[in-house]
Amino acid sequence: MEIRDATVEDAEAACQVTRRSIIDLCVADHRNDASVLALWLSNKTRENFAAWITHQGNSFLVAVEQGAIVGVGALTDVGEITLNYVSPDARFRGVSRALLAALESRARQQGNSRCTLTSTETAHLFYQDNGYIDDISSAPKFSASGHQMSKPLARVRAASV
């Protein structure tokens, strides 16, 4: 698996991976409620993905296996992780964990000392297992529960010469 910066040409596939992940893997959050799902998916368009990929304040990464996008991650310049979705076909193969590590590395490179995110119910335990802690309970965007979370980022030490 390769993690790389997304290009505009990746917008359609990245959009489809994200939509499939939400529909198939986030049932605990949308509970198959058509109105909740419609709201959550409403901005998940190829056009929006192309804009997010090219936006100066974002780092937009994709995980690629055998030429196919299997994961999507995005980070703002202030260290907020805004996307971390995996294709249902690649679930439990380390894709989300690899994307998360790459997003955290990028956040460090940008000078951030911590990452923040709003977790779905589906991903809450995953983020806890990766060192994120609940900051405050808040009303989520798309479901009955959501988790504001953060993680301090360890500084990378320079090698001794």
Percent of the chain with pLDDT over 70: 90
- Alpha carbon distances (Å) from 10 to 27, 53, 67, 72, 140: 26, 9, 11, 10, 28
Report yes or no on 94 lying in a domain: yes
Residue 161 lies in a domain: no
- 30 phi and psi, to 5 degrees? -95, -15
| CATH number (domain holding residue 124) | 3.40.630.30
147 assigned to some structural domain: yes
Taking alpha carbons only, the member of 71, 70, 135, 127 closest to residue 104 is 127
- Pick 130 or 137 by higher pLDDT: 130
Question: pTM for this structure?
Answer: 0.89
**Which of 16-30, 61-75, 94-108, 134-148 has the lowest average pLDDT?**
134-148
Number of domains in the chain: 1
Cβ distance 117 to 129 under 8 Å? no
Domain containing 132: what range?
A: 2-152
What are the tokens at 156?
């990378």
Q: What's the pLDDT band for 159 if we cut at 50, 70, 90?
A: low
Q: What is the pLDDT of residue 59?
A: 97
Average pLDDT over residues 118-123: 94
Q: Cα–Cα distance between 132 and 142 in angstroms, integer?
A: 21
Structural domain includes residue 158: no
pLDDT tens digits, one per residue of 141-158: 555 457 899 999 987 655
In a 13 Å sphere around the CA of 115, the CA atoms on its Cβ side amount to: 29
Q: What share of the chain has pLDDT > 90, as a percent?
A: 86
The answer to whether position 160 is within a domain reads no
Q: Mean pLDDT for the chain?
A: 92
Instruction: Tell me if 121 sits within 8 A of 111, measured CB to CB.
Output: no
Whether residue 157 lies inside any domain: the answer is no
User: Tokens 């956040």 sit at which residue?
Assistant: 107
pLDDT, tens digit (0-9, with 9 covering 90-100), for 28-75: 999 999 999 999 999 999 999 999 999 998 999 999 999 999 999 999
